[in-house]
């Protein structure tokens, strides 16, 4: 029979084992365990029962053995899986980094904190003019406008790439992929939404009479021609205003409203349309008396780069409601938005008008005569100048019905009552006589008036008719200075032209200090012509004038703006451009640069 177990020896034994095996997990053998050992002893009757103390040591030994085996397997696992764990760690790192970058790219970039945007560091516009994208857009445009109003004809593309009278000579690659002909503001909006979504550059076209490369498609893309938008939408006779679409010509407009005794004064040149006139902020021969296009636009409907339609104001003659968005878009040359409607001011048609012509020995004498007329406050409607070269070109081209004295000539326009006109003519004649004038002739009938004024309207075309061959180009440019500086700059420019030995003439709206240079040149003479124009512009800026009085900036004058206005002012213009057209889709490269110029593209000042 087994000997009873006392608790004291067991407790002592457990304390001893814990001291030697601190990590082992022990339990006190209970009576149930004693019964288990007794049962085991019955299974082997021949075996002598083992003491409990020996059994406890044996159990502890087996437990420690198993633990050491587990530790060895774990150590072996650690050694074998180190490479795998490293690969898993790198995978996790790359995965989470990529995810973090993706999530970060979804967050819009932080807004600029400066008030201007400098060209340095500005990212190049990201356009998509791939054939696949443009062909897909063609299908969108056909759905919007109809296939007959989406042209890919080579003849259309060439016409909308440049003109013979434009100063800018385009590159062969500068051609639109297609030409669009919308008829409503809504259609223009839908077109712009497609272009904005697909990042396709857009060049607006209205009349195409501009001179500084305004509609050259330097980035390809599409051209939006407004010729189908040629309607007078509303005439408000009592309010003296009219609402028109952009392809209405100023000559056609005056012809229609003259039946109601009304008159739209700006007259930039034959063929000009309202959309282009708004874009360049033009003026014309009536600017001295009536002002420029900026004074005759009340309101505009504009489609922005993303297709948003805005109206800049209502129809009253004055308003102090918010920013003057109307004048912001005038002169923007289609770089901020596309004008689809214009509300124009009108005035009462003059009761009577007349024209006078005076010739002078030198162009400086003629300019000084103009200065005196202005100083006397004689309210002539316009004063135009043509130098001796221009008058000779007019005679040689036989573009008018009479021959003219080939000397510097002033053309005066008078409007008002018959008595008022007669008084103005008398005052001007006296000033001409005292300014070394050689002759003075005024019209006594409408036929004579048309004949005398015809020479001024033929200035550009007469020089173009003198081209020696298809390789000849015409450079037409303008500047403006304060009236007191006009004789000085005209005389200096005339001497420079004579020294260049180019066929070059001077004409312009000298009543407000604005004059033009028209220069004929070929490929070999281009650098000489560029130098003449460069010095002319530089003189104007140094005399506190402007690099362009009415032609606009386009591609030719954009690098001169900093010299006239300062770098910060141009940076502010660039910020406006990016605010209205953040993807730089509208009339790329005009007015202000949004990407770095090519080497030697900017001339030394």
Q: 169 versus 8: which is more confidently predicted? A: 169
The lowest-confidence range among 67-81, 454-468, 548-562 is 67-81
CA distance 297 to 326: 8
Other CB atoms closer than 10 Å to residue 356's CB: what's the count?
22
Residues 157, 196: Cα–Cα separation, whole Å: 21
- Which tens digit of pLDDT belongs to each residue from 17-56? 344 444 444 333 443 444 444 444 444 444 455 555 566 5
Question: What is the spatial distance between Cα 364 and Cα 368, in angstroms, rounded to a whole number?
Answer: 6
- Based on the domain organization, do 63 and 149 belong to the same domain? no
Are 77 and 170 found together in one domain?
no
338, 394: one domain: no
Confidence at residue 532, expressed as pLDDT on a 0 to 100 scale:
97
What is the per-residue pLDDT for 25?
42
pLDDT for res 49: 54
Q: Which residues of 411-434 are buried (b: 16+ CB within 10 A; e: fewer)?
A: bbbbbbeeeebeebbeebbebbee
Residues 101 and 173 occupy one common structural domain: no
For the segment 429-474, what is each residue's pLDDT rounded down to a tens digit? 999 999 999 999 998 888 888 888 888 888 888 988 899 888 899 9
CA distance 86 to 398: 90
Nearest-angstrom CA–CA distance, 149 and 338: 18
The verdict on 338 and 366 lying in the same domain is: no
What are the CA-CA distances from residue 544 to residues 273, 482, 483, 565, 572 (Å)?
A: 31, 7, 11, 10, 21
Q: What is the pTM of this model?
A: 0.80
Q: Say what the pLDDT of residue 263 is.
A: 96
Distances (CA, A) of 379 to 162, 288, 373, 413, 429: 39, 9, 9, 10, 14
Residue 102 has pLDDT above 80, yes or no: no
The answer, yes or no, to whether residue 94 has pLDDT greater than 80, is no
Residue 11 covered by a domain: yes
Same domain, 185 and 99: no
Position 95 confidence tier, pLDDT thresholds 50, 70, 90:
confident
Residues 136 and 69 grouped into a single domain? no
| Per-residue pLDDT reduced to its tens digit, 556-573 | 999 999 999 999 999 999
* Domain shared by 544 and 571, yes or no: no
Q: How far apart are CA 133 and CA 335, in angstroms?
A: 23
Average pLDDT, the chain: 87
The residue segments making up the domain with residue 318 are 124-349+557-605
Q: Are residues 60 and 99 in the same domain?
A: yes
pLDDT in tens, 303-326: 999 999 999 999 999 999 999 999
495-504 contacts at long range (C-beta below 8 A, 24 or more positions apart): 496/532, 496/535, 496/536, 497/389, 497/532, 500/528, 500/529, 500/531, 500/532, 502/528, 502/529, 502/532, 503/389, 503/393, 503/463, 503/466, 504/389, 504/529, 504/532
Band the pLDDT of 9: cuts 50, 70, 90: very low
Residue 387's CATH number: 3.40.462.10
Position 140 in a domain: yes
Does residue 24 form part of some domain? yes
Residues 120-179 have pLDDT tens digits of 888 899 999 999 999 999 999 999 999 999 999 999 999 999 988 888 888 888 999 999
- Shared domain check, 412 and 451: yes
pLDDT tens-digit profile of 195-253? 999 999 999 999 999 999 999 999 999 999 999 999 999 999 999 999 999 999 999 99
Is residue 552 located within the same domain as residue 587?
A: no
**Could you tell me if residue 336 is inside a domain?**
yes
Mean local confidence (pLDDT), 345-361: 95
β-pair type (178-180, 222-225): parallel
**Could you tell me if 484 and 371 lie in one domain?**
yes
């Amino acid at each position: 029979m087994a000997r009873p177990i006392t608790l004291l020896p067991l407790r002592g034994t457990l304390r001893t084992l814990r001291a030697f095996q601190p990590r082992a997990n022990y339990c006190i053998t209970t009576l149930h365990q004693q019964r288990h050992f007794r049962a085991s002893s019955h299974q082997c009757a021949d075996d002598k029962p083992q003491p409990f103390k020996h059994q406890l040591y044996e159990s502890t030994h087996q437990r420690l053995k198993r633990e050491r085996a587990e530790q060895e397997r774990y150590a072996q696992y650690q050694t074998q899986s180190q490479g795998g764990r490293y690969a898993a760690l790198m995978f996790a790192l790359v995965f989470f980094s990529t995810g973090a970058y993706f999530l970060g790219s979804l967050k819009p970039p932080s807004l600029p904190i400066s008030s201007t945007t400098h060209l340095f560091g500005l990212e190049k516009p990201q356009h998509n003019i791939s054939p696949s994208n443009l062909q897909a857009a063609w299908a969108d445009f056909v759905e919007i406008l109809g296939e007959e109003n989406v042209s890919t004809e080579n003849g259309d593309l060439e016409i909308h790439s440049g003109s013979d009278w434009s100063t800018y000579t385009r590159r062969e690659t500068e051609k639109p992929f297609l030409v669009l002909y919308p008829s409503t503001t809504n259609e223009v909006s839908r077109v712009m939404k497609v272009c904005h979504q697909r990042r396709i550059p857009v060049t607006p076209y209205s009349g195409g009479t501009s001179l500084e490369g305004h509609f050259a498609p330097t980035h390809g893309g599409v051209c939006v021609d407004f010729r189908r938008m040629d309607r007078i939408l509303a005439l408000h006779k009592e309010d003296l205003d009219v609402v028109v679409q952009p392809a209405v010509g100023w000559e056609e407009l005056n012809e229609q409203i003259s039946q109601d005794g009304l008159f739209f004064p700006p007259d930039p040149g034959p063929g000009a349309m309202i959309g282009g006139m708004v874009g360049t902020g033009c003026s014309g021969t009536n600017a001295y008396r009536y002002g420029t296009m900026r004074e005759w636009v009340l309101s505009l409907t504009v489609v922005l780069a993303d297709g948003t339609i805005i109206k800049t104001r209502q129809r009253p003659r004055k308003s102090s409601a918010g920013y003057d968005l109307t004048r912001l878009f005038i002169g923007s040359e289609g770089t901020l938005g596309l004008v689809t409607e214009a509300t124009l001011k009108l005035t009462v048609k003059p009761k009577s008008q007349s024209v006078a012509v005076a010739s002078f020995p030198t162009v400086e004498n003629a300019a000084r005569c103009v200065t005196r007329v202005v100083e006397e406050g004689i309210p002539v409607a316009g004063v135009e100048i043509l130098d001796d070269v221009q008058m000779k070109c007019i005679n040689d081209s036989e573009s008018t019905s009479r021959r003219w004295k080939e000397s510097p000539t002033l053309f005066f326009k008078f409007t008002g009552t018959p008595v008022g006109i007669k008084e103005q003519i008398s005052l001007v004649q006296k000033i001409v006589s005292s300014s070394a004038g050689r002759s003075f002739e005024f019209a006594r009938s409408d036929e004579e008036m048309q004949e005398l004024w015809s020479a001024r309207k033929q200035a550009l075309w007469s020089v173009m008719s003198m081209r020696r061959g298809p390789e000849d180009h015409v450079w037409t440019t303008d500047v403006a200075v304060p009236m007191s500086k006009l004789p000085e700059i005209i005389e200096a420019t005339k001497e420079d032209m004579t020294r260049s030995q180019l066929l070059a003439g001077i004409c312009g709206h000298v009543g407000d200090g604005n004059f033009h240079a028209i220069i004929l040149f070929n490929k070999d003479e281009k650098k000489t012509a560029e130098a003449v124009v460069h010095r002319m512009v530089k003189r104007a800026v140094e005399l506190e004038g402007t690099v362009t009085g009415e032609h606009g900036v386009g591609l030719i004058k954009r690098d001169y703006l900093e010299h006239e206005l300062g770098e910060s002012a141009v940076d502010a213009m660039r910020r406006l451009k990016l605010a209205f057209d953040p993807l730089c889709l509208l009339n790329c490269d005009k007015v202000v640069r949004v990407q770095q110029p090519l080497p030697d593209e900017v001339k030394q000042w």
